[in-house]
Amino acid sequence: MKAIDLRSDTVTLPTSEMREAMYRAELGDDVYGEDPTVNRLQEMAAERVGMEAALFVASGTMGNLVCLLTLCGRGDEVIMGHLAHSFLFEAGGSAALGGIHPHTVANQPDGTMRLEDIEAAIRPYNDHYPRSRLICLENTHNRCGGAVLTTQYTSAVCELAHAHGLSVHLDGARIFNAAIALGVDAKELVGDVDSVMFCLSKGLSCPVGSLVCGSTEFVRRARRNRKVLGGGMRQVGILAAAGIVALETMVDRLAEDHQNARLLAEGIAATPGLAIDLERVQTNMVIFGLADEVEMTPEGFVASLAQRGVKLNSIGGRRFRAVTHYGITTGDIEESIEALQRVMGERSAKAWGFGAVGNHGCQER
């Protein structure tokens, strides 16, 4: 049985065009700045987000860390949402390696932080306080179910930050999902931020890699911090080649992933025992939960689905995340909905004392 893997868009495999481009890539030593394929990808990336320059890094985690190290010094404070990926899932790297102090502000369900909350978090000068230096945004917002931040919101945060002498970093791991969902250019969503990181190895389907983008001066300093982290790679055009194909061929198709996520969300909404807020499904992620009355453990739910060939992640409490991506077809989504309905159907049957669905002469669906 082929597994339908909805755990993340990080599970995507490179396309045959990518593999071909990797095989044929023209290479050089990138630590000398001599890999033509990396240089081309970096130029394309900077252009795509409207920045002066870009730097290829190994991962989104490394990209965010390089940006934070470049924009903050030891003891400086970074303001970020309490559900930010950098806060929750990057092993505390900016604190561990950069001595950067995180100051969290509540994320609203739509992925934003209230402007007044951000402003209240910016510290006045005082010898006792850490120095507020940076605000981090995330678009799309992972833990808020792939929520999209608008151009207007990002501009308002930049205006506030810059008026107080702070910089803004955008974790745009999935910035192209946001751009496609809003029908705007990624440049617009990046706006006036000081740095942006986006990933090639999620919905864009590359095997490895992210880009850090900003001013020429920012990227010069970021390059040094990448070296500090051991991220100076050599003939890395072999990976950048896939990135070029991704930017050329994989951005517009993200719309398909969004349609599949919507279809899945509607299927979930129609399944008794599952709870979902359809309005929160904006891109390629679907966060949903087990309804309060359902007597099933989250582990039991994930395991029963896996037995039926559908993999997804439990994200704490009684909530789950399913992510659509390249390689997941509309047919796969229909099968996933059927699997969900069967798992929930079995649950009702057990609760009523009937055993598995399909017993007692009931026709199995």
Binding residues (CB under 6 A) for ligand TLP: these are: 8, 10, 59-61, 64, 85, 89, 138, 142, 171, 173, 199, 201, 210
Element (H, E) at 178: helix 175-182
Q: Rounded to the nearest whole angstrom, what is the least distance from the CB of residue 93 to ligand TLP in the complex?
A: 10
In whole angstroms, give the CA distance from residue 177 to residue 208.
18
CB of 172 to ligand TLP, least distance (A): 8
CB of 99 to ligand TLP, least distance (A): 21
Name the DSSP class of 262. Answer: H
* 3-state SS, residue 37: helix
- Mapped onto helix, strand or coil, the DSSP state of residue 220 is helix
Classify 237 as helix, strand or coil.
Answer: helix
For the bound state, the minimum distance from the C-beta of residue 47 to ligand TLP, rounded and expressed in Å, comes to: 22
**Least distance in Å: CB of 313 to ligand TLP?**
8
Of the two residues 64 and 271, which places its CB atom closer to ligand TLP in the complex?
64
**Residue closer to ligand TLP, measured from CB, 172 or 273:** 172
Q: How far is the CB of 270 from ligand TLP (least distance, A)?
A: 26
Closer residue to ligand TLP, CB minimum distance, 138 or 346: 138
Nearer to ligand TLP, 203 or 273 (CB): 203
Q: Which of 217, 221, 215 is nearest to 192 (CA)?
A: 215
**Smallest distance from the beta carbon of 235 to ligand TLP, in angstroms?**
21
Which of 124, 317 has the CB closer to ligand TLP?
317
Task: Kindly give the interhelix angle for 36-49 and 237-249, rounded to the nearest 10 degrees.
Answer: 40
CA 294 vs. chain centroid, Å, equals: 30
Whether the CB-CB separation of 343 and 272 falls below 8 Å is answered with no
| Shortest separation between residue 135's beta carbon and ligand TLP, angstroms | 16
Query: Which of residues 154 and 271 has its CB atom nearest to ligand TLP in the complex?
Result: 154
The nearest distance, CB 237 to ligand TLP, in angstroms, is 19
C-alpha closest to that of 177 among 154, 155, 215, 149: 149
Radius of gyration over every alpha carbon of the chain, rounded to an integer in angstroms: 22
Residue 309 C-beta: closest distance to ligand TLP, Å: 20
Q: How far is CA 329 from the centre of its chain?
A: 20
For residue 128, what is the enclosing H or E element? none
What φ, ψ does residue 75 adopt, rounded to 5°?
85, -5
**DSSP E strands, the chain:** 4-5, 53-57, 76-81, 101-105, 131-138, 167-171, 195-199, 210-214, 274-275, 285-290, 310-311, 313-314, 319-323
Which residue's Cβ has the minimum distance to ligand TLP?
Answer: 60
* CA 42 to chain centroid: 20
Q: Between 204 and 296, whose beta carbon lies closer to ligand TLP?
A: 204
Question: Which is closer to ligand TLP, CB of 89 or CB of 129?
Answer: 89
* Dist. CA 117–CA 102, nearest whole Å: 15
Q: How far apart are CA 173 and CA 107, in angstroms?
A: 18
